[in-house]
Structure 1
């Protein structure tokens, strides 16, 4: 037992990243819950329009995971692929890459979210000029994923359709729409996934022909094809923009995109980019 070293074989930065993520996870699910402090809301990244927005959240959200499965798969990827990259690049360059991809992911996700918020506000203004139960119903279907809330709001629509000339229903609908928009703006984004996707992209570029054995694919797949397929899937689901899909697909794409350009920059400006 004296020779037991739980972090043997883990590179320094990867070790610190995993430790920080685990500590934050424990703080959220143990200390935060007992003290009735919403650490996810404090550490998670918010849009500038949110009342909870703080600039430091662009960093802290990268180390914040609430669900055990989310934490496990992100940290497993950091361990499996990050330690290889750190061994090749060195700790300093790996840390730079990790934060550039993580912040790049946050930037792209924020831009897409701001665009979505702008569209919601435009829909609200259009509704204000011409209140209509059908327009309100379409807004609700497009932006509400909670089954119970959706059911309650559609019951409201049915009541409005029974009295379409009622100004009271129009005013209540405005109130509901404002609440939905505010909830969208206040929703926190958390997770290391943006940087993790940057790590996957880097591994695919440095070791493109390495064969990976994945649980959900019965045959080995080369790293370059795995990265391409994963990136294409994220783009597809991101463009789908399905109601209830809480995965930040464009954050994942942002991590890959910024990682790609950073690696190209290093290759161009260094004899050995690692």
Structure 2
């Protein structure tokens, strides 16, 4: 049975309440989710509020399960104020880092669209696909071949531009939600302070020490972030961002602690 500490309990209650309240809204993600910086839907509070929003009950459950499994020992070690500070910094940092990456990707997509608009060739269409939608390369292949055969087909070029602009517009209004960035910071801190604690990690059929679990999780998130599969809407680099920010915070705190002795 989980022994909840006060801050962990309060975070759990806040996330559950916000989730069920958000379900009553017309757009349940609303203005609290984190939209790309360049999006007209972006607001300055979203890098903080997004971590209390979740896309579904499964998303909420997995994040809150991680919080109540790994959080209490850290709160007992740090105290509630420092634990909450760490949680919020990791979540905020993960959101900002991931949103910076998304903004870079959207700017590159816009650039690729403008390049194609100025010089609508199959090569520039291939550049757009490889940079922005590599999973759709097979779908675009017949269009590239036709554009190569009929490079002056105005109707074909117009259709391609419409498709590109649709992909860009969709990217501008897809938000990020969830406490996963903060949770991955917690996982890193847990492995830092309790490295030899034995855990079970799905789908491994055997126990694994916390320090190895975090390394495997990090490698997995990096691989799935780089080699994205169709339909994967997980912000893998936000998870890595939470780990990175958590590591920086831990190093800063440890260094300051050492100076006291």
Same fold (TM over 0.5): yes
User: CA-atom RMSD, angstroms?
Assistant: 2.7
1:202–1:8: structure 2 CA closer, same or farther, 3 Å change rule?
Answer: closer
Match 1:120 to one of 109, 115, 120: 109
Paired residues of 2:109 and 2:131 also in contact (CA < 8 A): no
Matched, 1:16 2:10: yes
> Is 182-191 or 154-163 further displaced after alignment?
154-163
1:134–1:83: structure 2 CA closer, same or farther, 3 Å change rule?
Answer: same
1:23–1:146: structure 2 CA closer, same or farther, 3 Å change rule?
Answer: farther
Equivalent position SS for 1:204 = helix
Paired residues of 1:145 and 1:244 also in contact (CA < 8 A): no
1:88-133 deviations in Å (ceiling 9; x for gaps): 1000000110011001101210121122112212211221121135
User: How far 1:172 sits from its partner (Å)?
Assistant: 3.3
CA distance in structure 2 between the partners assigned to 1:26 and 1:137 by the alignment? 43
Q: Where in structure 1 are there 5+ consecutive unaligned residues?
A: 1-6
Equivalent position SS for 1:221 = strand
Match 1:179 to one of 155, 166, 182: 166
* Number of residues of Structure 1 aligned to a counterpart in Structure 2: 259
1:159–1:28: structure 2 CA closer, same or farther, 3 Å change rule?
Answer: farther
Match 1:212 to one of 199, 209, 212: 199
* Corresponding residue of 1:3: none
1:158–1:45: structure 2 CA closer, same or farther, 3 Å change rule?
Answer: same
1:157–1:40: structure 2 CA closer, same or farther, 3 Å change rule?
Answer: farther
Matched, 1:103 2:92: yes
User: How far 1:81 sits from its partner (Å)?
Assistant: 0.5
Equivalent position SS for 2:158 = helix
User: How far 1:219 sits from its partner (Å)?
Assistant: 1.2
* Corresponding residue of 1:26: 20
Q: Where in structure 2 are there 5+ consecutive unaligned residues?
A: none
CA distance in structure 1 between the partners assigned to 2:106 and 2:168 by the alignment? 7
CA distance in structure 2 between the partners assigned to 1:90 and 1:11 by the alignment? 9
User: How far 1:168 sits from its partner (Å)?
Assistant: 3.0
